[in-house]
Amino acid sequence: MNILLLNGPNLNLLGEREPSVYGTMTLAQLVSRVTAHAKKKGAKIRARQSNSEGALIDILHSHRKWAHGIAFNPGAYTHYSYALRDAIASIQVPTIEVHLSDVTQREEFRRISVIEPVCVGRRYGKGLQSYLEAIDDLVARGVPADLGLHT
């Protein structure tokens, strides 16, 4: 099973940015832990990160025939990017929205997700564990039969 691990804006600063909210783990450490977890489950990870909305859309599009599932932390784009929402809907690859923090207990604007309606699940508020649970959820779903051949 192939899983795209996609992280959006400012996640490249994990470990430095608001450690009281996001923790001290760096993005490289997070990717390493998620990759090791996925490998134990028989899944292969491709990890990507961008601060640019257009680049995130390009990454989603370019992985649509490779990925059987996507674990995606869109960062602040969660709350207003209809372009990312449409990209997820258009590629028809099962996607789980992921957040390190509990977005339901933060500022009012963070409680809104325009991404969630086109995702098969949402994991948040547990730091690294949110990502690991998303991987578990995608592996449990299995390889979608209607996605065709993925190499």
- Catalytic (active-site) positions: 22, 99
Q: How far apart are CA 20 and CA 77, in angstroms?
A: 21
What whole-number distance in Å separates Cα of residue 34 and Cα of residue 36? 5
- Residue 75, phi-psi category: left (phi > 0), alpha (psi -120 to 50), beta (remainder): left
Contacts with 6 (C-beta within 8 Å, 6 or more apart), sequence order:
47, 48, 49, 56, 59, 60, 70, 71, 72, 73
Contacts of 88 (CB under 8 A, 6+ apart): 60, 70, 72, 95, 115, 118, 119
